[in-house]
Structure 1
């Protein structure tokens, strides 16, 4: 039996599936992995959350980087891997998608917002750090590029930041709690495109496995958790999942 056939059988037998996605599912949409050679973190020193809060110059630099590197992410489209997961959600077979990605492609593939748990936030909009007011990026970009204006909240005068989790910023408590709940409730946990090196998020696959769920890892390169998985497939996510689920 091929790995694809085995995965198909595991999905068919599962009652409650959770997906855990990392950069690898989005690189197939043309979004570079931040940590890979040539990625953002090899070009820039990260701006830590405390520095963003303390320094207007750091806030200005953060927005400059955002708009200099954002075009690829905002133009990217969901790929076959995203669409396959969306179909499993639509069928009621997948209860949640826990993602380390900030590109919003799961939502754009048709997955309801309520089914996507974003551990590292979302880079397609901004929020006020004080009152939580949401802001779209285009007006912020226009004011920044034309007037060098760093955004301030119009409701409370708080600092406005992209809705992502920065280095040194606490992980989102609600998202982490939801991810933990879904992990412990599932009977099949599928990792797609994560190197499983960023903790605490990378602990979820092992927690699911210890709780009795089947563990599948689909990633181009080996991970440190391959030895504990029930099935490991080193291949492109889109080609595997489109064959398993039946999407283009």
Structure 2
């Protein structure tokens, strides 16, 4: 990299949040490894078609603890990166909101897969809080419906089987094409179109660093691959970047 202050793009996946107690999907101890049928709970077709799938999905959300999870050292490291003054943007596949809760400026975070902090009716599009919906589940409603029209409630996330919001994806592509350094953290880099963002960055001249516990399909394209735990590896990487460019 040059001695200039680089624009840093950080793509975060589920792996950055596992130390906060939120399981990933595809990792060795991921949700789908333990229960392959759980994929239906986050896939739009089965979710909308099957009340039993929705009931299981609400129990999963209730037990996942994402609303009460606390940011970990990986999230806090990215806050330190922002505070250093280095230009940066976070592109996240996560829906847990932990990066913002850690203190990162919300406008610096592009949520590629939406947010699990809110729910929306599939019919009338009314928006409510996930906390409120889970309170109804705890009170005995196994599949809470929209209180305005009786429609199905779903999280405001991009579920499997759905396309990403075109505007959000275009914004992410612009960041990838304009950055000098692209850091992929805790993501399998297997789900497109998001998995294509690091390649767009490399084609545009950026340096790619991958921090992930398992091999990814893009490891050969990376200038550096780090296999250490994210909660230690990411703070160390941020310290190195701040010392070099801050």
1:80–1:13 distance in 2 versus 1, CA, 3 Å: farther
Task: Look up the SS of the partner of 2:54 in the other structure.
Answer: helix
Q: What does the per-residue CA deviation read over 1:218-237, in whole Å, with 9 as the maximum and x for residues that have no partner? A: 22232221211122222122
**What's 1:24 paired with?**
15
Secondary structure of the 1:32 match is: coil
Query: Deviation string for 1:112-143 (max 9, x for gaps)?
Result: 22221122222233223355443222321222
Aligned to 2:57: 62
The residue that corresponds to 1:135 in the other structure is: 128
132 and 91 in structure 1: CA distance in 2 versus 1, 3 angstrom threshold: farther
Q: Distance in 2 between matches of 1:121 and 1:187?
A: 26
The number of residues matched between the two structures is 236
What secondary structure does 1:97 align onto? strand
| Secondary structure at 1:20 match in 2 | strand
C-alpha offsets along residues 93-130 of structure 1, whole Å, 9 cap, x if unaligned? 24311111222111111112222112222223322335
Structure 1 range deviating more: 233-242 or 129-138: 129-138
SS at match of 2:139: helix
Distance 2:132 2:52 in 1: 20
Q: Which runs of 4+ in 1 moved over 6 A?
A: none
Q: CA deviation at 1:240?
A: 2.7
Alignment TM-score, normalising by the size of structure 1: 0.83
Question: Could you state the TM-score of these two structures normalised by the residue count of structure 2?
Answer: 0.83
Structure 2 unmatched ranges of 5 or more = none
Aligned to 1:75, the other structure's residue is in SS state: coil
Q: Give SS of 1:227's match.
A: helix
Q: Report deviation, 1:244.
A: 4.0
Which aligned pairs between 1:188-207 and structure 2 lie closer than 5 A?
A: 188-207=181-200
Q: Could you say if the C-alpha distance between residues 11 and 239 of structure 1 is closer, same or farther in structure 2, counting changes exceeding 3 Å?
A: farther
